[in-house]
Amino acid sequence: MRVWIQSNSKSTSLAIQRQLRFKLLQQHIKISEEYPDLVITVGGDGTFLSAFHRFSNQLDHLLFIGIHTGHLGFYTDWQDNELDDLVRLIVQNQKKIIRFPLLDVKVSYTNGHQSHFLSLNESIIKRVSQTMRADVLIDGHKFERFRGDGISMSTPTGSTAYSKSIGGAIVDPSLEVMQFNEVAPINNRVYRTVNSSLILPQKQILTILPDRQTDYIVTVDNLSYDHCSIQKIEYQIAREKIQIAEYRPKQFWLRVKNAFLVN
Ligand code: NAP
């Protein structure tokens, strides 16, 4: 087994990274950055997102584990004082593999170029300033004319992040769905949007056709692309999934309670 440990730059996380590396080497586990079988992140959910994007071209064989050095995260279940337990369970290799849905993001630019991304949390399109105007299509049929700040599409695991802050539902990640959320839509007697979250199933494609402008921002998780001239963005649930190594059972709704309800 080859393991890579990705840490954020905080001194506490770097110290945990060093300790973990030492403990893994003691068990004759190889440390490999290029082609790991297991990526262990040390930090918060943000660190986990960075590791996901760094290794998103190796998702078919790669497992992820998150250790948190701050507050409990949604992708980071292990505490920094549990390294011995974690290493023992890695050596014993008795795990369940949990797969979470990802969002497939296809961006077409007005110059004819295309970009393709996978998102673990969400992708947002908005304008640098002024109202964004766009047609929203579901499976090629016009659904609404949107006016407002922007549009967010999120995965189930991303539903506890930005999507929740803009009023989206929290979605159990065992459901293979994607969530559409409007960001500050304009609704009055002249302009009308659905003004509600939409939960869309596998294979449906949600397309955004923005008015021709040059100043769109497109985000994919913690990545941001500024001043884009977008012709259209197509969102659907990706064929790829992220695979998490689960060495002990955990309950999603207990984590939601711990993150948002219990002090
Ligand atoms: P960031 O500073 O890395 O993260 C912002 C906060 O979102 C952090 O507290 C982070 O937790 C938390 N977070 C990330 N993924 C989460 C998830 N799946 N469920 C619950 N909380 C989560 O911000 P960034 O680099 O700009 O963007 C990374 C992500 O942060 C984005 O994908 C977005 O979902 C989220 N974000 C949320 C808001 C908001 O709610 N208004 C604003 C900006 C970004 P950790 O502290 O554990 O890293």
Domain with residue 152: its CATH number is 2.60.200.30
Does the CB atom of residue 77 touch ligand 1 within 6 A? no
Nearest CA to ligand 1 atom 31: 221
Find the farthest-apart pair of alpha carbons in the chain and give their distance in angstroms, rounded. Answer: 69
168: CA distance to ligand 1 center in Å? 15
Residue 68 sits in the same domain as residue 131: no
Residue 147, annotated as binding a ligand? yes
26: CA distance to ligand 1 center in Å? 34
Residue 78's domain is classified under what CATH number? 3.40.50.10330
151: CA distance to ligand 1 center in Å? 17
Domain range holding 257?
A: 2-95+247-261
Does the CB atom of residue 100 touch ligand 1 within 6 A? no
pLDDT single digits (tens) 127-168: 988 999 999 999 999 999 999 999 999 999 999 999 999 999
Give the residue with greater pLDDT, 129 vs 234: 234
pTM: 0.97
Q: In the chain, where does DSSP find H-type helix? A: 11-26, 45-54, 83-92, 162-165, 252-260
Residue 134 sits in the same domain as residue 45: no
3-state helix, strand, coil in the chain (%, to 5): 20, 45, 35
- Asked about 221 being catalytic, the answer comes back as no
Residue 120 sits in the same domain as residue 63: no
Task: Report the amino acid identity of residue 113.
Answer: H
Ligand 1 atom nearest residue 154's Cα: 34
Residue 151 sits in the same domain as residue 220: yes
Using DSSP bridges, classify how beta strands 177-185 and 198-201 pair: parallel, antiparallel or unpaired: antiparallel
Residue 234 sits in the same domain as residue 114: yes
Nearest CA to ligand 1 atom 24: 222
- The tally of domains found in the chain comes to 2
212: CA distance to ligand 1 center in Å? 30
Q: What are phi and psi of 85, to 5 degrees?
A: -60, -45
Q: How far apart are CA 67 and CA 79, in angstroms?
A: 6
Residue 67 sits in the same domain as residue 182: no
Q: Which residues, other chains included, contact 57 with Cβ-Cβ below 8 Å and sequence gap of 6+?
A: none
Nearest CA to ligand 1 atom 44: 162
Confidence category of residue 172, pLDDT binned at 50, 70, 90: very high
Using DSSP bridges, classify how beta strands 206-210 and 230-246 pair: parallel, antiparallel or unpaired: antiparallel
Average pLDDT over the chain, rounded to an integer: 96
Residue 80 sits in the same domain as residue 119: no
pLDDT single digits (tens) 36-69: 999 999 999 999 999 999 999 999 999 999 999 9
Residue 71 pLDDT more than 90? no
Q: What are phi and psi of 157, to 5 degrees?
A: -70, -20
